[in-house]
């Protein structure tokens, strides 16, 4: 399971500094999540914090 950022991401930067694992990086068109680094925030937050802060709700857990 990992967070995935959808193509509707507006690159607002809100989620980037919130990730405890530095798993979010700028891809070719929009931010993406490195599935090797994403732990769904386990040990840091009760729920994925990137999802909590995203203003347009474009992140999902898959």
Task: Report the interface residues with ligand SF4, using CB under 6 A.
Answer: 3, 5, 9-15, 18-21, 23-24, 31, 33, 38-41, 48-50, 53-54, 56, 58-59
Minimum distance of ligand SF4 from residue 54's CB (angstroms) = 3
Minimum distance of ligand SF4 from residue 15's CB (angstroms) = 3
Question: How far, rounded to the nearest angstrom, does the alpha carbon of residue 29 sit from its chain's CA centroid?
Answer: 15
Alpha carbon separation from 36 to 1, 10, 29 (Å, rounded): 10, 23, 20
Residue from 43, 23, 41, 42 nearest 33 by CA? 23
Minimum distance of ligand SF4 from residue 38's CB (angstroms) = 3
């Amino acid at each position: 399971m990992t967070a995935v950022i959808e193509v509707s991401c507006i690159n607002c930067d809100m989620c980037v500094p919130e990730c405890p694992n530095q798993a979010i990086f700028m891809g070719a068109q929009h931010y993406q999540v490195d599935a090797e680094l994403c732990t769904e925030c386990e040990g840091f937050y009760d729920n994925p914090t990137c999802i909590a802060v995203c203003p347009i709700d474009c992140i999902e857990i898959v």
